[in-house]
Chain A
Amino acid sequence: MSTHRIRFRWAVAFLLLGLWWVSAGARPADTRGPLVVSPDGPYVSIQEALAVASPGSTVEVRGGVYTGPLVVEKSVRLVGVDWPVIEGNGEGTVVKIVAPDVYFGGFVVRNSGDSLDEENSGIAVEAPRGVVEGNRLEETLFGIYLREATDTVVRGNVIESKALDVPRRGDPIRVWYSSGAVIENNVVRQGRDVILWYSEGLTVRGNRVEGGRYGLHFMYCDDALIEDNQLVNNSVGAFLMYSRRLHLRRNFIAYNRGPSGFGVGLKDMDDALVERNLLVDNRVGIFVDNSPREIDSVMTYTRNVIAYNDVGVQLQPSARRNRYEANSFVENQEQVHIAGGGQLRDNVWVENFWSDYAGYDADGDGIGDVAYRPQRLFEDLMGRYPPLQLFRYSPVAQALDFAAQAVPLVRPQPKLQDRAPRMVPVVPSGVPAPEGRPHVIFGLGMVALVLGGVALVGWGGRVGGRVGSRRGLVVASVLGERGREMQEDVNMDPMVRVRALTKRFGHFVAVRDVDFDVARGEAVALWGANGAGKTTILRCLLGLYPFEGDVVVGGYHARWQGREVRRLVGFVPQELSFHDDLSVEETLCFYARLRKTTPALSSDWVERLGLEELAGRIVGELSGGMKQRLALAVALLGDPPILFLDEPTANLDVRSRREFFELLQQLRGAGKTILFSSHRFDEVAALADRVLVVEGGRVVSGGALEDLAAVLEDGVVVRLAVAPGQVEEAVRVLRKLGLEAERNGTGVWVRVPSCRKVEPIVALAGAGVLVYDFALEPYASVSVGG
């Protein structure tokens, strides 16, 4: 090559470089900072800025309205400042990204076309590794559509669809052949489905999807992680199909009650792990069909709370190799349903909590001593003949089950067996707190109850006869004080009515022919020695045990409307079973969610109970008194009109006991109806308007405190806590006085005439025995029951 030719080429190169330099200098060059688009320039349209942008450039778009469609063909960063609007004018797709590695964030994208065939979208991404972040999509048919956009991130967008009939809406998020995509922290309202098809290794995290058809719909997506999402008020929460190794954890899935109405549906799935989800108030909590498919595959469901659904878990009879371990089945109208009836085989049910378990835990290891075996004839028939669902909650269904119990020949085989049922539920930690308007949801729930009550009028008979009082209660709950006044006008029935209550455990009669009433706003004590049957009576009133007789609480029959009763009653059990790893706030929020009521920390009672300042404290670190306050706060969630308390201060010291009873007195003053059990006379005297003395499973006496003299003629038992090492000395001193005294564990038990209750304490003090505490009980020669 000649020297002349080389010089010529160098000259051309310099000339081209000079021309580029001049042209770049004529406009704000992206090498000196972002290309700025605003209504006042330097660029007035996004397309104009994109035309000169280089790969890697940042295009900053300031507030204003810009006309779409916008096609991004370069790998740039498009950053909206002050919410610039890209207007689609009702035609086609508004923003289409066809270059890889594009960042698009901070925009309002609105008004796409409405053609389902053309899949008109707000933002369509058709290249890998994009980031679509922090945008608002309004009036778009499809929202964000990933087509072969592998490893793309869709994060923090708010998507609201066009106001069309559900089938005519597009999908707010659609992921199509886009493996490795991450969909996180988006809010989706009123769309059709969030679709995730033909994509592997997806992450779907922290999204809220509400008011659509399918909160999430997975097909052919292996190895996905679905966590911390809220899927509420859709037809179906999450429908997972034809996929392997999906991991669904810590999601809040509630109020999904459309035509399918599944919280989670799993069809043709393999090796899925469903854990620590909260599935509340769906038509069906978990639906399982033909899963797993493969012989070496197992489906695992563990530590989920499945609560207040019409059906907790519904399985096809062919379901095999499903393992349900450590889940909590709480108050589902039917805990497990087998479509078509029959029994399940080759599935494992172990250490689940069942709220309708009526067994016992004699060895105190937290596991029931007899297996859980649901045996209900009507459920069995309903599985075989679906039209019978018409009669599901009617007295007819109850009568059939009753007949099945009476005539073992027609008793169905149990559909499943859990040999080691838990006595207390497992509370999953870390499930996202629900947003929205819980009071509205609660109100709607109450309205539903009203409608249910009205519908039940048609049944007539004994149930219908109580509807008036139930409706009064519901009106009171919804309308507050005005409702309460209305209620008083329409209803003077007792709040609790017990007739001929008898409870047998096998041949042992724990409660026998008990009758009593509790009037509205009254505080009544069940007073008796340990083992007299007080706890059993309370558990029967809550509908937790089957029993004989007639119990009506707030207008509901406890025998067949236990769930409704428990909605009206705040219950403080003797043994508290909180999750020690949760904070006070998390515990209250958890139970608030279950009861579908307002966030707990805003409650007036939480403040009065002194729990506000303890919100962040771990429950395991609380004192006994504080735990008891927490239990009372939980019982008061939703402001129930009735409180049942079972030996509420059994484990408290003197000061905590006094403070706790001061709170209960405030509650009585606030109009709550209170029924509590106690073996301590001082507690009874402090709170009760009336006392029912329980002995040997019977109510042997009842009346005002001053009428108890006759009962006390047999004397009372004083239980004394004395200093360690002085127990024998105390017994000796008391026997020397001529009293019947015995060692009782680390304390002393002494029977005295009712007019000499203080004498043992004075005598022991005189003998130098240090008395820390004392309790009074009626003397009962027979001690039975629980």
Chain B
Amino acid sequence: MRVWVAAAVLAVVLAVGISACGSGSVVNGPPEVRYGEDVCDECRMIISDARFAAAYVTAGGDVRRFDDIGDMVVYFSRVHEDVVAFWVHDYGTKVWLRAEEASFVRSSSVQTPMGHGLVAFASRGEAEAFVREHGGEIVEFGELFEQ
């Protein structure tokens, strides 16, 4: 029995070690999202569309991933973690952007995965062009957390 218990303890130590190594820590740069595999930390749905996907990295190096920018706002507003960087995608090019540097549009004409209707753009000019074509309003990142 001693052998079994020792094996168990060893395995737990190994597993905890593995978990520490494999928790998806990101120090610099945007996080990785495996589309079609990763699930949203807020709604538990599968993240499939890069245009709407968002993420943030905590001070501890943990990555939270979301299928909808609005879900990131909801999740963060609830848990209030110490965050190093928020990330969103440019709606047109699907390139990662630092959320603080992006311009956001809230529009009922955009059907985002969780219905928040939020999309991000690399420049204000692109956001304005989108509003002209599809309607909606331009909002800054900080304003997202005020509602």
Contact = CB atoms under 8 A, between A and B. Distances in A.
Contacts of A267: 43-44
Nearest to A268: B43
B44 A403 contact: no
A387 interface: yes
Interface in A352-381: 381
A391 interface: yes
A387 B16 contact: yes
Nearest to A401: B8
B12 interface: yes
- Give chain A's interface residue range (CB within 8 Å of chain B): 35 or more
A400 B5 CA distance: 7
A235 B44 contact: no
A396 B39 contact: no
A652 interface: no
A402 B1 contact: yes
A580 B76 CA distance: 53
A394 B7 CA distance: 11
Contact of A167 (B18, B36, B44): B36
Could you tell me the dominant secondary structure of chain A's interface residues?
Answer: mixed
Contacts of A265: 44
Contacts, number: 76
B48 interface: yes
In this complex, the member of A391, A394, A396, A403 whose beta carbon has the largest number of chain B beta carbons within 10 angstroms is A396
B22 A259 contact: no
B73 interface: no
Interface in A749-785: none
A166 B1 contact: no
A488 B70 CA distance: 60
A25 to B, nearest CB: 48
A406 interface: yes
A549 to B, nearest CB: 14
Given A259-B37, A259-B39, A391 B11 contact: yes
B12 A388 contact: yes
A258 B39 CA distance: 10
A395 B4 CA distance: 8
A259 B15 contact: no
A527 interface: no
Contact of A394 (B11, B43, B44): B11
Contacts of A397: 8
Contact of B48 (A213, A239, A289, A388): A213
Contact of A399 (B8, B16, B39, B45): B8
Contacts of B131: none
Interface in A253-277: 258-260, 262, 265, 267
B72 to A, nearest CB: 16
A560 B45 CA distance: 33
B145 interface: no
A241 interface: yes
Given A197-B115, A258-B46, A267-B43, A402 B38 contact: no
A514 B49 CA distance: 60
A385 B15 contact: yes
B11 A213 contact: no
B49 A167 contact: yes
B15 A388 contact: yes
In this complex, the member of B37, B39, B48 whose beta carbon has the largest number of chain A beta carbons within 10 angstroms is B48
B46 A213 contact: yes
Interface string B38-58: 110001111011000000000
B11 A166 contact: no
A6 interface: no
B48 A167 contact: yes
Given A258-B46, A388-B12, A388-B15, A396 B7 contact: yes
A287 interface: yes
A219 interface: yes
B5 to A, nearest CB: 5
Nearest to B23: A387
Nearest to B114: A219
A329 B7 CA distance: 31
Nearest to A382: B15
A241 B43 contact: yes
A396 B38 CA distance: 28
A309 to B, nearest CB: 16
A22 interface: no
B19 interface: yes
Contact of B16 (A220, A239, A259, A385): A385
Contacts of A262: 44
A219 B70 CA distance: 15
A396 B19 contact: no
B140 to A, nearest CB: 25
In this complex, the member of B1, B18, B45, B114 whose beta carbon has the largest number of chain A beta carbons within 10 angstroms is B45
A388 B12 CA distance: 7
A385 B39 CA distance: 18
A1 interface: no
A390 interface: yes
Contacts of B39: 259-260
Contacts of B7: 395-396, 399
Given A258-B46, A396-B7, A167 B35 contact: yes
Contacts of A239: 45
Contacts of A287: 44
A713 B37 CA distance: 69
Interface string B113-126: 01100000000000
10 interchain residue pairs of minimum CB distance: A387-B19, A167-B48, A399-B4, A396-B11, A399-B8, A400-B8, A403-B5, A388-B15, A396-B8, A259-B46
27 contacts: A165-B36, A166-B48, A167-B36, A167-B48, A167-B49, A214-B45, A219-B115, A235-B46, A236-B45, A259-B38, A259-B39, A259-B46, A260-B39, A260-B44, A267-B43, A381-B12, A385-B15, A386-B19, A387-B15, A388-B19, A394-B11, A396-B8, A396-B11, A397-B8, A399-B4, A399-B7, A402-B1
Interface of A: 165-167, 197, 213-214, 219-220, 235-236, 239, 241, 258-260, 262, 265, 267, 287, 289, 381, 385-388, 390-391, 394-400, 402-403, 406
